[in-house]
Amino acid sequence: MNNNQENFYQEENIDIKKYIFKILSNWYWFAISVFIALSVAYLVNRYTDPVYSVSTTILLNDNSNNSYYNNNDLISGLDLFRQGNNIQNEIGILHSYDIAQKTLKKLSFNVSYFGVGTIREPELYRTSLIFNFDSTKYQHSNIPVYVTIISKDKYRLEIDGDMDIDKTMNFGDQFSNDYFDFNVTLRDKDNFDISRGYQKYYFVVKNSVQLTNEYRSKLGIELLDEEGTILNLSIQGKVPQKEVDYLNKLTEVYVCSGLDEKNKTADNTIDFIDRQINSIVDSLGIAESNLQNFRLNNKIINIDKEGSTLFTKLEKLQTEKSFIKFHLKYYEYLDEYVNDKNNFTDVIAPSVVDISDPLLKTIILQLNQLYIEKSTLVYSTKKSNPALDIVNIKIRDAQNSLIENIKNLIKTTKLSLDDINSRLDEVDRKIDKLPANERKLLNIQRKFNLNDNIYTYLLEKRAETGIMKASNISDVQIVDKARRENAYLVSPKRSFNYTLGLILGLILPFFLILLFDYFNDKILDKKDIEENTQVPILGFVGHNNKATDLVVFDNPKSGISESFRTIKTNLQYLLVDAKSKVVSVTSTISGEGKTFCAINLASIIAMTNKKTLLVGLDLRKPKLHKVFNISNNIGISTYLIKKNTIDEIILKTDNENLFVVLAGPVPPNPAQLLETDRLKEFLAKVKKEFDYVIIDTPPVALVSDALIFTEYTDANIFVVRQNYSSKKVLEVISGINKTKNISQFNILVNDVKLEGYYGKRYGYGYGYGYGYGYGTGNGYYDEDELEINWIDKFLRFLRIKK
């Protein structure tokens, strides 16, 4: 169980040193990646159209003090419906389609201008060109119209698409077809310089609906403080001055719209009074003319005392009747208003006509508040919102209550009117007893005074309403206008892009290294071997960058020669008890370097004055003859078929103590030949004559020939190649070691790359040397041949210091 736990923790641990070596050895990929990422960031910053943000702030005032005449009863009546600004409602109004549309109409943003550059085509504002189109005629939207300036007088017109127009025109000439009707002029022809600015432009006619919705979506509104009423309006665009103009015009339209809405009640009141005045003017004129004519014709100036008393009483009743009729007209107007209109934003207040009924005022105020709440929900929510349905129900109930109240008031007013009429009839009967001329004068005087009093009253009310309208001020105050100098860059975010480029430039190659390492099933270092097999490691051989395979013999001072010295030393410890030392060298598949290792291992042993025989038993794919440049006509295959003797196939090499037996011609049945008794006789004889016998055997994954020799060998070396041999090879090695119970079975790692060689030796080579007690083989190196890079030197420095 402890072994399982140990293996588990080994699998979970991350070899940080391994990844540090990988990063250091691949530093150039990091440098290239960072350079490319920063270059991309530079190009993005350089050629992306910049987007700027501009903002303005407005204050929504408490409109309880919006007039200089708040103590006036009429004004307070007209101000009945102003209950302070609803913030969400005002935000909804600022986001409304109508406000945006009015703003764009005043700015003429329906044409967008662009400059044509080598790479970018930035949007321009207030260019030297002016596109004038006939608004009464159809203009095709979203089709670019290209204008190339030739001189102060001429330009080239190009329209792509189905029109395919390319012609030269004079500035000011009208162009007209089924899609367009426009002319192009220079803004300042006298001071125009063709060398400045762009030579080629194009403009696009924007669809008004799309443009309005675009600006509505771009507008951002936020409340600066939850306890305050200051709104911050912001908008983003590629041309900061254009967005500044839009925001300033938007706030101007919004302020005017709010003021117009406030004045609507006063306008309706004045209109109502004017209608009443127009109906009384003619009656007043006739009554005045009749009074004057009667006095002149009958020479009656005054009425006697009794007649005067009756006249005063009659005049008082007539005035009271006029006011009752006036109130009745207002009730009828209100009843018609409720039935015909769906809001209470511009209804005439009861106090305007001196009606002080508290229930009527309460219901109208309640309806006004409900309609304000409804407008807020309409702006900010969907039509299917349940809250909106509840408000509609409340409005319907309030309207029904108001209608019922109006009916009762009309009924009461009519009763009052009947009472006045009965009292007037009684006075009329008393007047009938007066002399005829005096009675006629009394009637004429009564009509004149009645019309004059009403006329004077209406004029006073009209004057008061006009004063109220003139004293109205906006509930919105512009705190800070949008300014070009306050615009700030939103994108591209230059510092962020460079930082992101640097991070990605470092992360991407590191991620690729991790990804490659995760999916790479090749043997890369000692840890891969130790985690997958219990077979010990004999040593490591560096990468051979020489033109020869006899690297030990031709370059005895090279790093590879030193690695083979270490392997020879370790091999001596393995074979310390053996009288004759027979060593087989094999691998899983071809290409892993078994023949190379066998040749150089034999060579390094021979260089220590040990008589060594190198035997090529890879009968299927022989290579020894190519390395030693010897004919392959005779060899072990010819010996096994009794064509040659042992002495005839043992050949001398340039190395004094190294002898070689080649494989010979490739036979048709190599496996059968290797199982004959002549091979046993051969091995028995060479054991006696040589100190070491190194056998180059076939790969075990392809054929089973190598396994035949295991009973004759004293040590078996299994060659794996770094970054070439698969980790599955280690399973084969472990399987062979367990099933065959092979003695002295060891692994030799071949082709360790130079850039990691010192790292390998520092981390692994010396580790196995001391760990197994086989020594380190401290020979000498030729640094010129090793081509040590700066990483190797640094690691070597650390090793020496240690």
Tokens standing for residue 341: 């209109």
Predicted local distance difference test score (pLDDT) of residue 802: 35
Contact between residue 698 and residue 671 where contact means Cβ atoms under 8 Å apart: no
Give the Cα separation of 691 and 273 in Å (integer). 135
Contact between residue 200 and residue 148 where contact means Cβ atoms under 8 Å apart: yes
Q: Which residues contact 665 (CB under 8 A, 6 or more apart)?
A: 632, 633, 635, 637, 638
Give the Cα separation of 400 and 398 in Å (integer). 5
Nearest to 62 by CA among 25, 90, 98: 90
Contact between residue 314 and residue 431 where contact means Cβ atoms under 8 Å apart: yes
Report which residue type is found at 372.
I
Give the Cα separation of 347 and 265 in Å (integer). 6
Rg (CA), the chain: 55
Predicted local distance difference test score (pLDDT) of residue 378: 66
Give the Cα separation of 584 and 284 in Å (integer). 139
Neighbours of 431 (CB within 10 A): 20
Contact between residue 83 and residue 369 where contact means Cβ atoms under 8 Å apart: yes
Q: Does residue 670 have a cis peptide bond before it, meaning omega lies within 30 degrees of 0?
A: no
Using the structure block, give the residue that is written with the tokens 């006011």.
323
Give the Cα separation of 289 and 297 in Å (integer). 12
Q: Which residues of 402-421 are buried (b: 16+ CB within 10 A; e: fewer)?
A: beebbeebbeebeebbeebe
Q: What is the pLDDT of residues 396-440, one digit of tens each?
A: 888 788 888 888 888 888 888 888 888 777 777 766 655 555 556
Give the Cα separation of 409 and 332 in Å (integer). 10
Tokens standing for residue 451: 């019309």
Say which DSSP state 756 is in.
G
Predicted local distance difference test score (pLDDT) of residue 402: 80
Neighbours of 2 (CB within 10 A): 6
Q: Output phi, psi for 205, to 5 deg.
A: -80, 125
Give the Cα separation of 254 and 103 in Å (integer). 9
Give the Cα separation of 648 and 639 in Å (integer). 9
Sheet of 129-133: strand order equals 129-133, 181-186, 174-176
How far CA 477 is from CA of 56, 100, 241, 264, in Å, comes to 11, 19, 22, 20
Q: Output phi, psi for 123, to 5 deg.
A: -75, 140
Give the Cα separation of 791 and 788 in Å (integer). 8
Q: Output phi, psi for 184, to 5 deg.
A: -115, 130
Give the Cα separation of 324 and 300 in Å (integer). 32
Predicted local distance difference test score (pLDDT) of residue 413: 82
How far CA 592 is from CA of 239, 548, 698, 724, 752, in Å, comes to 66, 16, 11, 7, 12
Checking DSSP bridges between strand 581-587 and strand 715-721, what pairing results, if any? parallel
Q: Output phi, psi for 422, to 5 deg.
A: -65, -40
Contact between residue 695 and residue 582 where contact means Cβ atoms under 8 Å apart: yes
Question: How many Cα atoms sit within 13 Å of 685 on the Cβ side?
Answer: 11
Give the Cα separation of 762 and 795 in Å (integer). 8
Contact between residue 200 and residue 147 where contact means Cβ atoms under 8 Å apart: yes
Checking DSSP bridges between strand 154-159 and strand 165-170, what pairing results, if any? antiparallel
Give the Cα separation of 137 and 205 in Å (integer). 13
Q: Which residues contact 409 (CB under 8 A, 6 or more apart)?
A: 331, 357, 360
Q: Which residues of 259-276 are buried (b: 16+ CB within 10 A; e: fewer)?
A: beebbebbebbbebbeeb
Using the structure block, give the residue that is written with the tokens 């930082």.
499
The sign of the dihedral angle between the CA atoms of 4, 9, 12, 15 is negative
Q: State the helix-helix crossing angle for 87-94 and 358-380, rounded to 10 degrees.
A: 50
**Sites in the chain below the pLDDT cut of 50:** 1-12, 64-84, 299-301, 304, 306, 754-802
Q: Output phi, psi for 721, to 5 deg.
A: -115, 130
Nearest to 647 by CA among 695, 603, 685: 685
Nearest to 426 by CA among 314, 321, 308, 306: 314
- DSSP of 195-234, one letter per residue? TSS-SEEEEEEPPHHHHHHHHHHH-EEEES-TTS-EEEEE
Contact between residue 593 and residue 751 where contact means Cβ atoms under 8 Å apart: yes
Tokens standing for residue 193: 């310089």
Give the Cα separation of 482 and 233 in Å (integer). 9
3-state secondary structure of 4: helix
What residue spans of 472-558 are helical by DSSP H? 494-519, 526-532, 551-554
Predicted local distance difference test score (pLDDT) of residue 138: 79
